[in-house]
Each structure stands twice: as C-alpha cells, then as structure tokens.
Structure 1
Amino acid sequence: MTPEQLSDVIVSALQRLVDEGRLSLPDGVPAQVRVERPKVKEHGDYATNIALQLAKKAGLNPRDFATDLAAVLAEHDGVSAAEVAGPGFLNLRVAADAQGQVAAHVLEAGADYGRSGLYAGQRVNLEFVSANPTGPIHIGGVRWAAVGDSLGRLLTFAGADVTREYYFNDHGAQIDRFARSLLASARGQDAPEDGYGGQYIHEIAADVVAKHPDVASLPDAEATELLRAEGVELMFAEIKASLHDFGVDFDVYFHENDLHASGAVDRAIARLDELGKMYEKDGARWLRTSDYGDDKDRVVVKSDGQPAYISGDLAYYLDKRERGFDRCLIMLGADHHGYVSRMMAMCAAFGDEPGVNLELLIGQMVNLLRDGQPLRMSKRNGTVISLEDLVGAIGVDAARYALARYSTDSPIDLDLDLWASTTNDNPVYYVQYAHARLSSILRNAADLGVDHGLDRFDPGLLEHEKEGELLRALASFPEVASRAAELREPHRVARYLERTAAAFHAFYAVCRVLPQGDEEATDVHRARLVLVDATRQVVANGLGLLGVSAPERM
C-alpha cells in the first residue's frame, strides 16, 4: 500500500463516519490526507495528524476524534493496526499483503512508476546554463547543466510539457572583448587588458586563421567583425557539443541579438506603455518597477536613445509568454541575487504573477578539491575549471550525480578523489552498485530457472521487517519525485536513492532470495524476487531522473 493509497483509505474512513452521523465536518471531507513515516519506526509504518487538524471544526476533542477514526481504519483489510498516540496522532501499521502489493504495482507501472499529473496541462519554459559564448562552460554553469536537466526530467515526470531553452548571449560588451581577444591572438599579440586569456582563445583564433588566412592583415574593424562571427560560432558549437556529451540537450537556442534585430524590444516597451507602466524622466524612459517591490524604478531606454540592459529582459520574458508558456523558470548564478526583485517587478508590470508565471532559481558556488586542496586553474582555460575538466576527472555519471545531489541553496565542495573512487563512500557508486547487484540477482534467478511472474506472487509472504522497510521505501518514490519537482529540488531524488540502496542491502543481508544447492524454489523465493525486481525498477527510474546511467554490471 502506497502513501497515496493509504490516504484514500483514511478519506474513505472519514466519509463513513460522516455518513453514519458520527462525525460532522462543515467544510466536507478532505480530498486527501497527508501520511508520513514516523520518526521512530517502532511507532508503526505510517502516521497522520489529521485528527488534530480537523477536531476543532468537528467540535471534538482531538484524541476522541482519533479514537473513532482508528476504530474504522482497523476494520480495513490493508490496515493491521491503528493506534492513537499523544494528543491525537494516529500511528498505522499496514498488513503484509497490502504492503507487499507495492512491489506488484511497481512492476505493472514499470518506467512510469512515480509519474504524476501534478503539472498536467502546463507548459513550462526552463532556461538554464545560458553561459556567455566567450569560453568553455565553467564549473558554475556545469552545476546548472546537471540540476537544470534533472529538473526538466522531474517536471516532465510530473506531467508538464517542458521546453529546455538556452539563452545565447551574443549581444553586448563581452562579445566585443571576445572578438578583440581573438584578433590579438591572430596577430600574435598579448590579449587586451580587459580581454579573455587561455589556450582556447588561441585554438579558436587559429581555426579562423586557417579558414581565412588574411584575417590578421585586414583593417581592425573588418577583422574584428569576421573574428566575432566565426569565433562565436566555433565557441558555441563547442559549448553545445560539451553539453551533449554531458547528456544535456536543449529544445531551443534563443539568440539575444534576435530580440534587438526583430523589434521585440520595441514591442515589449509598447506593451508596457499600453499598460501605463512607463514614464519619461531626464530624457530617459523608465519602468515603474518600484510599484511592484523593486528598490527603485529602472531605466529601459537611456537618454541617448539606446536600450538599457533590462530592455532585453522585458522583450525575452514577453516573447516566452507569447509563445504560450504558463511558467517561465530561469536558473541563475549566485551573483544574480540583486536581479530577482527587478525581474519579479517586471513580471508583475506585465500583469502576471511573480513566482508562478516567472520563477528565478539561484545556485551557489562549486569548489573542487583534490588531495584536500582547492583546484583553481584549468590548463586550457587559464582561469576557471570547466565542464571538460570535471568530466575528465570523475566521468559524466559522477559529475551529474554529485552536482545534483546537493541543494542549490548551498555552496558545495566536491572532493574529486572521492567521486572518482569505486567504494561505497562514493554516493553514485553506492547507488549504481545496488542497481548492478539487483540486476545480477535477477540474472542468476533466470539461470536457475526460477520464475517470478506476478501470477504466482503472494505479497503476504513479504513479512520480514527488512522486507517491510524496503517496500515502504519503494512506496514513497512517487511522493519523493513529486515533491522534488514541486520544490525544484532534484537532490531529494539522489538522497532517496541512497536510502533505498541502503534498505536493499539491509534486506539482502538477512533475507535469502535465491535457493541454494539442490533446494527447490519456494513461493518465498519468488516473492522476494518480485521485490528485488521492483527495487531495480525504482532505482533505475530514480537514476533516470538525474540523467545518470543504471548499469547492470559493475
């Protein structure tokens, strides 16, 4: 029995009390009841405080309410015990056969086990990474690549129609510095003082020179423009290839320059004008963002007639909404905290709801350690650690898992020696090894000719304490996946997988799954094989949400 199924049982029990006139709920019976694993496992399989929540409305003492509800619940075939604790908590124990049905439910659902309709019918635009095309993706962007792609998988798993979008910053001062750096390299000169260094600049410049041998001798303006166009294209192709190799692909690559070339900026300003949100002052045009929580109004068009930086944000947000997206999620680096209030004010100025139509996620820094010491430099980039550096050190799976394993609210220190190791101290190895071990058990069962089809499955045989713990872990996966999507926290899935792997190893240590020697396979063996198969499926589903492989052999 999953928590969702137990919730339905409790709702039905409440409705029975109402129908029999033993309970009065002016607001009606709730559609669902939250059940949780108790902190002390001796208290039962699940617990709920629904009596404490509803007692006042029902005009009852919470403990009396809980006692009446417990009596009805105890009559249900799937509930072996319902006990009142404290001021009105209910501790519930699920019957072995009802609990064991979870394994069958997992196998029937397969790769869809855990899917929900939480965001059914909603179109979500998820923008992440969006690194400037002036160099390889640095470690901060790599964190968003892992977390963003995992979040996209989670939102899709929760029913959303997700579009992954990369905002290609090909307009502005950073591109000018990039082009001038390439020109300096092409001419054998030192990089400009405000330019970009690193071996990659020389590699790109050399590629352009090979294609256009006379570029270095062209007039500055002509050479710079050629290097800008060719260099940005080469750099962006490398970025896309690196992300693809990391398992991250985007549905849309949106060019910032298109906003200015297409007139989208003017259209956004005109829309805000129509809404009465713009005014003129000191020769400039301003947006009334202070009316919506910003610390001051923002200049949209400067006194010289040039668009201010926020003008692109206005145009881009409006473009997304006009493309039909209900939710626009943007993942930003730690240096963008001051950006949040103006963006939310911009959202409200368009008549939308901040936090719903527009949501900004801020990620903290990543530090890499080797031999206990921080890594500061990349040989190729000259300044920062890149995606290639990380993958080269620990591999794609470990890198994705490590970066998605922690809350984005917190900076993280990644010990490369740990994440490259093949020991149980390495979290991704621990989880992947569990999947490989589960797969091995199933292969061995097939070699022995032991069938574990659901037509011969007796869930009531899974009555060992460790079997129950593993079944409850499997039962909680749908809620974990939904909460991870709802809270934008993929790390919940990683931590869940580690707990489930631990529950499996504890089960396997005391519950013999396969017959030994000339022993005949029993229904207990078959039931445990169903549990093993279900566990393998859930671990694979969870790893898939993180974009990490589920190896069958290690």
Structure 2
Amino acid sequence: MSNMIQAARQQVAQLTQAAYEKAAQAGVLPAGVEVNATIQIPKDTAHGDYATSFAMAGAKAMHMAPRAIAQAIVDHLELEGSFFQKAEIAGPGFLNFTLGPKWFGDVLSAVEAQGAAYGSGDEGHGKRVMVEFVSANPTGPMHMGNARGGVLGDTLANVLRRDGWDTWKEFYVNDAGNQIHKFAVSIDARYRQLIQGEENVPFPEEGYHGDDIKALAQAVYAAHGDSWLQLPEEERLDKLSEYGLSVNIPNMKADLKRYGIEYDQWFFESSLHQSGYVAETVALLGERGYTYEKDGALWLNTTQLLKEKYLREGKTQEQVDKLDLKDDVLRRANGFYTYFAADIAYHRNKLAVRNFDLAINIWGADHHGHVARLQAALDGLGLNGSERLVVVLMQLVNLMQDGKPVRMSKRSGKAIALHDLLDEISVDAARYFFNSRASTSPLDFDLDLAVRQDSENPVYYVQYAHARICSLTARLAEEGSAVPAAADMDAALLSAPEELALVKALAQYPEELHLAARDYDPSRINRYLVALAGDFHRFYNACRIKGEEQHLLLARLKLADTVRAVLANGLGLLGVSAPEKM
C-alpha cells in the first residue's frame, strides 16, 4: 500500500478489534459490542505513534471502566508480524501503539517498489477533469498574474492526475468580442500614426498603450506599407486583429513552453460563435424560461437562477430576498452576443459535449462575482454547474525587490511580462515561488531571494538536498557501497530519533498529495518538500554514513537514497528540476 500512514491506522483498528474478540471469547469482556473508536496520531511520540479511544468509546455499552477494557485489550493483543512493537495504556484509557522496524522497512520498500508512482491515489476513480488556466487575453504579453495562474493550474492538474483523475489541460483563447475589437482599433491607430503622423491621429482613450502594439503596427507597415489604409475600415480592422493574433498567440505558446507548460488543447472562443453554438445555448436557456427581452436586448434572468441555486444550497427565502441580485445581458441590441453568453456556451461545451465530470477554472480573485452566476446558468441548462464547475480564485502577486514593491501597470504597458521575468530568474525558481502559497493568499514574490544560492532560498534548499544525496551515493558507490534493495537492509538499525522522523516524513507524502488534490492546493507539495529537506539535513548532520559499520552504513544509505527519490518525485510534480550536482 502506498499510504503507509493509512495502513498503520487500519492495522490499529484491526489489531484492537481482534484483541477485543479474543477477550470476549475468553469471557473477560462482554461479546457483541460494536465500538466506534477514533484513531489519532499524537503530537508527542512519547504517547506512541497512534492512539485509539476504543476503551473509552466502548465503556458505556460494556458497563466497564475504560482502563479495565484497555487492560483486557492489551492482554489479548498479538503484535507479532504487525507494524507495531508495543502498546501501552495511557490516561483515562487510551491505547498507545508504537511503530516497530517492520513499518519503517515497509515505507522504504513502498517507495522502492512504486518508483515514480509513489504517492499515487485513486480518489479520482478515473473520472475526467478539465483544468482550464491562464486563458489570458491574446492582446498583449503575459504578465505576473498569468505566471502564478500558469504554475498553479499546471501543478494542480499534475497532482489530480496522481490522485487518480483523468486530467486535461486547456487554454481558452478570447479571440472574439469587445477586447479583440479594441486590440484591432489600437493597432490601427498606431499604424495610421506611422503614416499620417502622431499629431494627426488621436489614440483611443480605451486602447492598449503597450509598446507591443507599436511593434505590431510597425510590422504591418514594413510588410504592406500604406496599402491597408485604402481598405474599408471594417476589413482593415479584421486584417489587423488577425495579424496581431497570428503574432501574439505563438508568442504566448512559446513563453508558456519555456515556463514548462504545454496544453492538451487551445480552445478558441471564435469557434463557438462561428459554429452557432453560442446562439444555440442562449436559445436553450430561452426554452427553459430563463430569458426575456428588454430595450432591444436579450437578458438572462440571473436573479431567478441564483435564487433557485441558493435555496437548493440551504439558504432561507428571507436570506435570498435580501441579496442584491442583477440580471445579465446575453445578446445586445446590436445583435452581438456578450462575453457572458460565450462563457456559458464554452462551459456547456465542457460538460455536455465533451462530457468532463468536473471542470476546474483558475481565475483571478477579481472574477469572484462571476462564479455563482456562471454556475447558476449551467444549473439552468440542467448541467449541475454548482457541483461540476469548480473555480479556484487566485489572489494577486506583489513583485518585491530590495524590500520594495516593483510597480507595474497593465494599462500603461509597463506590466512585467513573463518572458522578462524568465530572463531574470530561472524557470525552476519561478515555478517554485509562484506555487509556494495557497491560491487564497496574496503572494509576495521576492526577486532577490529567488536568485540567491543558499538555504534561505527554498527551491535551492530542496534542490541542494537532492544534489547532496546524489553526490553521497556516487561517492560511496565508487568505494564499493552501492545503495541496497530495501529487502537487503536491516530497518531495525534505523533507531535514532532523526532516522525515525525522516521515515515518517517519507510516509507522509501520499497523504500530502491526496490533500493537495482534495483541497485544490498544490502549494502543500512545496511546504512538504521544504520540511522533508529539513528532516534530511538534520538526519545527515546527526547520523554519520561514511565510515560507519557496513550494515548501518547501508541502512542509512538506503534511507538517504529513498529521500532522494521522494524529493525528485515532488519536484517533478511542481515542474522543477532535481539536479544531481550544484
């Protein structure tokens, strides 16, 4: 079993139940009592490694004092061949179990046997999940917020796959609608300024001001001169947006690939409009009685949908009536569908056409108000959006240098682009740092710390532990002491507190992986790796390996190499390299 912590917990329950049944057969305890006991892991190992409340939980039904029940259990326990070397009674009747060499040896065997799959679970049962992340507007370079969403989505998909989900990574390209029109108008203004002079062509107030827009206009001018000025305005704008996207989208793909992210699919919003799927989705909402016309526009009765959703979720009618709910436009008076209409259609496509069991979106926290509205619209389509659409909201990134925030503004074009950041720091540092806090917390990204090569830098600290073990195993192999198989080393020799703590840390990995998937929080893996590296460094400083008696040397070498395997495993999930030399 991969999860040795759960295996030990289950064995405590089995051993206790078997001892109870033997004591009942012997007439020491009353027979046929069903006991629902808790099994805890005490914080202080002086109280054992696992503690069960069996005696206290059974006291009422058995009409006996808990300590008397506990004594009967201990007298009939058979620990031979189990994970445990002793069990003791404590306090009002707790049974404290202490792990023995078999469990510690089996942890090392489990890591060895499962290799790169160590830590995997089957919580997802092969269900299909789409993780949609970044999905930045293709109107300019990707910035710091996209960098955080990128590694969060990518790592979350990796973690979910390891927990038994069939995962799919997707980028939704907003290549239609208002922002694309604004993009084309911005390039057009810069293009006309090149030909007619800046003083003669006002730049639109709402336009995109970045240098990248100027560069696109110059490229068009270099290729076509002033010939596009002769085209009808609408045709020129179409050509300019098409050209801009043909440059920006490959650039985005290249930046993300450099950052270690590749998608299963880039899905284009325009395809939903061209195929008539947006119109069909809106019509379907109409058939279900959720739309109405007002002022020439078609509206979604979001108020009604949200009220139905909140009542289903247990809010009272009074609570729902107090909410300030508003309806949404789906089709404007000019006949154009809104972004919200396209968004509903896209998510209907995910759940109804491509049949994903779960759709997870990584969004900026500023989209908070959009979540329930989209879920409610999908509920209205009969797609159970309240459960099948999960939105992970991500707080802002503050870039810090010399202890001060680095100012950036997307509107002025002075946003720090992802490609600029990756020129300054390694991909490993970027991926590690952007995933180092839960999405619900704002992230202070310390540029100075990210380039430091010492133990203050967490990614360096973890990678250094891996490289240190690689150097150690290579050096000892040259001296004739190769890493043994788990079956060929004596786990009973690992008895120092630092050794036992390190094996327990290795056993914790499957649990951390599962919790990271369950809570949509891959930053748990970062925290786990830093803690594991710390446990390793403490062990390495306290327990000599080179020069020890051979059996002990091999046991400690196997432990160190098992740590190396788990560090590489976790770094792989984060998309961070595990160097052999540093």
- TM (norm. structure 2) is 0.86
Q: How does 1:105-504 map to 2 (within 5 A)?
A: 105-187=110-192, 188=194, 189=198, 191-219=203-231, 220-274=233-287, 276-282=288-294, 284-287=298-301, 288-290=304-306, 291-293=308-310, 295-302=325-332, 305-321=335-351, 322-354=353-385, 356-377=387-408, 382-454=413-485, 455-504=487-536
Task: Using the TM superposition, give the Cα deviation of residue 11 of structure 1 relative to its aligned residue in structure 2, in angstroms.
Answer: 3.2
Q: Answer yes or no: is the 8 Å Cα contact 2:135–2:171 preserved in 1.
A: yes
Deviates more, 1:39-48 or 1:56-65: 56-65
- CA radius of gyration, larger in: 2
Deviates more, 1:527-536 or 1:381-390: 381-390
Q: Answer yes or no: is the 8 Å Cα contact 1:126–1:152 preserved in 2.
A: yes
Q: In 2, Cα distance between the equivalents of 1:54 and 1:171?
A: 66
Task: Using the TM superposition, give the Cα deviation of residue 141 of structure 1 relative to its aligned residue in structure 2, in angstroms.
Answer: 1.0
Q: Answer yes or no: is the 8 Å Cα contact 2:290–2:380 preserved in 1.
A: no
Task: Using the TM superposition, give the Cα deviation of residue 65 of structure 1 relative to its aligned residue in structure 2, in angstroms.
Answer: 6.3
Task: Using the TM superposition, give the Cα deviation of residue 159 of structure 1 relative to its aligned residue in structure 2, in angstroms.
Answer: 1.2
SS at the partner of 1:361? strand
SS at the partner of 1:476? helix
Q: In 1, Cα distance between the equivalents of 2:562 and 2:398?
A: 37
Q: Answer yes or no: is the 8 Å Cα contact 1:277–1:349 preserved in 2.
A: no
Q: In 2, Cα distance between the equivalents of 1:55 and 1:534?
A: 43
Task: Using the TM superposition, give the Cα deviation of residue 203 of structure 1 relative to its aligned residue in structure 2, in angstroms.
Answer: 2.3
Q: In 2, Cα distance between the equivalents of 1:465 and 1:85?
A: 22
Q: Answer yes or no: is the 8 Å Cα contact 1:104–1:534 preserved in 2.
A: no
Task: Using the TM superposition, give the Cα deviation of residue 6 of structure 1 relative to its aligned residue in structure 2, in angstroms.
Answer: 0.2
Task: Using the TM superposition, give the Cα deviation of residue 475 of structure 1 relative to its aligned residue in structure 2, in angstroms.
Answer: 0.5
2:99 is aligned to 94
Q: Answer yes or no: is the 8 Å Cα contact 1:439–1:536 preserved in 2.
A: yes
Q: Answer yes or no: is the 8 Å Cα contact 2:20–2:76 preserved in 1.
A: no
Q: In 1, Cα distance between the equivalents of 2:272 and 2:344?
A: 10
What does the per-residue CA deviation read over 1:20-69, in whole Å, with 9 as the maximum and x for residues that have no partner?
Answer: 5556565x979xx7654x32343333445677778778888776666666
- In structure 2, relative to structure 1, the CA distance for the partners of 1:539 and 1:47 (3 Å cut) is farther
Q: Answer yes or no: is the 8 Å Cα contact 2:477–2:483 preserved in 1.
A: no
Task: Using the TM superposition, give the Cα deviation of residue 73 of structure 1 relative to its aligned residue in structure 2, in angstroms.
Answer: 5.7
**Aligned AA (1:206):** Q
What does the per-residue CA deviation read over 1:244-303, in whole Å, with 9 as the maximum and x for residues that have no partner?
Answer: 0000111111111111111112332344345x3424253634344232138344443445
- In structure 2, relative to structure 1, the CA distance for the partners of 1:357 and 1:69 (3 Å cut) is farther
1:44 maps to which of 40, 43, 48: 48
**Aligned AA (1:212):** H
Q: In 1, Cα distance between the equivalents of 2:269 and 2:64?
A: 61
Task: Using the TM superposition, give the Cα deviation of residue 149 of structure 1 relative to its aligned residue in structure 2, in angstroms.
Answer: 0.5
- TM (norm. structure 1) is 0.91
- In structure 2, relative to structure 1, the CA distance for the partners of 1:120 and 1:224 (3 Å cut) is same
Task: Using the TM superposition, give the Cα deviation of residue 16 of structure 1 relative to its aligned residue in structure 2, in angstroms.
Answer: 2.1
- In structure 2, relative to structure 1, the CA distance for the partners of 1:52 and 1:323 (3 Å cut) is farther
Q: In 1, Cα distance between the equivalents of 2:75 and 2:211?
A: 74
**Aligned AA (1:383):** K
Q: In 1, Cα distance between the equivalents of 2:278 and 2:160?
A: 30
**Aligned AA (1:502):** G
Q: Answer yes or no: is the 8 Å Cα contact 1:466–1:506 preserved in 2.
A: yes
Unaligned runs of 5+ in 1: none
Q: In 2, Cα distance between the equivalents of 1:338 and 1:114?
A: 36
Q: In 2, Cα distance between the equivalents of 1:478 and 1:195?
A: 50
SS at the partner of 2:387? coil
Q: Answer yes or no: is the 8 Å Cα contact 2:473–2:482 preserved in 1.
A: no
Q: How many residues align?
A: 545
Task: Using the TM superposition, give the Cα deviation of residue 459 of structure 1 relative to its aligned residue in structure 2, in angstroms.
Answer: 1.3
Task: Using the TM superposition, give the Cα deviation of residue 199 of structure 1 relative to its aligned residue in structure 2, in angstroms.
Answer: 2.1
Task: Using the TM superposition, give the Cα deviation of residue 514 of structure 1 relative to its aligned residue in structure 2, in angstroms.
Answer: 2.0
Are residues 1:538 and 2:566 paired?
yes
Deviates more, 1:390-399 or 1:301-310: 301-310
Q: Answer yes or no: is the 8 Å Cα contact 2:16–2:77 preserved in 1.
A: no
Q: Answer yes or no: is the 8 Å Cα contact 1:13–1:69 preserved in 2.
A: no
Q: In 2, Cα distance between the equivalents of 1:392 and 1:370?
A: 15
Q: Answer yes or no: is the 8 Å Cα contact 1:165–1:252 preserved in 2.
A: yes
Q: Answer yes or no: is the 8 Å Cα contact 1:204–1:235 preserved in 2.
A: no
Q: Answer yes or no: is the 8 Å Cα contact 1:102–1:475 preserved in 2.
A: yes
- In structure 2, relative to structure 1, the CA distance for the partners of 1:298 and 1:199 (3 Å cut) is closer
- In structure 2, relative to structure 1, the CA distance for the partners of 1:272 and 1:6 (3 Å cut) is same
Identity of aligned residues (%): 39
Task: Using the TM superposition, give the Cα deviation of residue 176 of structure 1 relative to its aligned residue in structure 2, in angstroms.
Answer: 1.4
SS at the partner of 1:92? strand
Q: In 1, Cα distance between the equivalents of 2:527 and 2:226?
A: 56
CA RMSD of aligned residues (A): 2.8
**Aligned AA (2:452):** S
- In structure 2, relative to structure 1, the CA distance for the partners of 1:356 and 1:449 (3 Å cut) is farther
